[in-house]
Structure 1
Amino acid sequence: MHSSDHNQSTLTLHLPDEDATASLGQQLAPLLAPGMVLWFDGDLGAGKTTLVRALLRARGHSGPVKSPTYTLVEIYVISRIYWYHFDFYRFNFPEEFLDAGFGEYFRDDAVCLVEWPEKAEGCLPPADLMVRFRFAENGRAVDVVACSEEGQKCLKALRSGWPDAAG
């Protein structure tokens, strides 16, 4: 991942419960534009799929949002924008990303939401935003890291809408 990049900005948030995670999704969703790539990092059960579900619901998806652990990708079309939710947890080798042809999903008319991006390291397009979940006392700590100019714009807007944010 891009942890050594010097041009990154990070916003650290405390999410005490699932409602707070949903609130983050509601605030972040309208900031996402076609062509963006988001990486979600964190242990099993940390809240990655919960946040993706909140993002999709905030954009108007009313059906089920399930983790693509077995299918590897779930596809949603909302307002003519393709939303691809990937989960690479079951990958044994990064090249499985290439073998599956997933590179063609990363387009200008799509938003790609990627869980377990490290499992496709070196094959996966870079992130605009990285969202890192950590278990913390009384909930989760989440670092939202901007990794591109588009990511910086999102982070700036998100920071202004989250008054008690650190970073």
Structure 2
Amino acid sequence: MEDSINKKYPGNYEKRKQLRLEKEKPVLEAFWSWLDQQKPVRNTRLDKAVNYVLNRRDIVETYLEDGRCSFTNNLSENAIRPFAVGRKNWLFSSSVDGANASAVVYTMVEMAKAHGLNIYGYLKFLLENRPSKNMTDEQLAELAPWSEKLQSIKNRM
């Protein structure tokens, strides 16, 4: 259901919210009702799982009220996958500074991806406009992937 709503109304968050409340909320209500009827043996894995989800009902239903939210955390999982895959390689970073630098670069790359920027172009832009300790907050904000300045050159990157 969620996939068809997202594909049919990409970017129309109000419509997504409306359809979620119409179509998905009843399914969730039936799920909560079913869970309430379950009587698993106490202190078993099933008992813990049922109680875990019941205690987080409000959190689970959050996505219904905001069309921008996703039911899954797939975007986040996919964003950190390259970092998780490379983690074993970094066990032997020669210094803490090197490990920190690696984390900074991965963050910049993922932020560029998330904002639809060409990664090479964004990194080149950052290197050409090197941030320094003497920059004002406004100047630093212009280097962020969501800045107006970058949006205007987005297609040229």
Range into which the TM-score falls when normalised by the shorter chain: under 0.3
Give the structure with the larger strand fraction.
1
Taking structure 1 as the reference length, what is the TM-score of the superposition? 0.21
Question: Which protein, 1 or 2, shows the higher relative CO under an 8 Å CA cutoff with sep ≥ 6?
Answer: 1
Give the alignment's TM-score, normalised by structure 2. Answer: 0.22
Between structure 1 and structure 2, the one with the greater Rg is: 2
**Is the helix fraction higher in 1 or 2?**
2
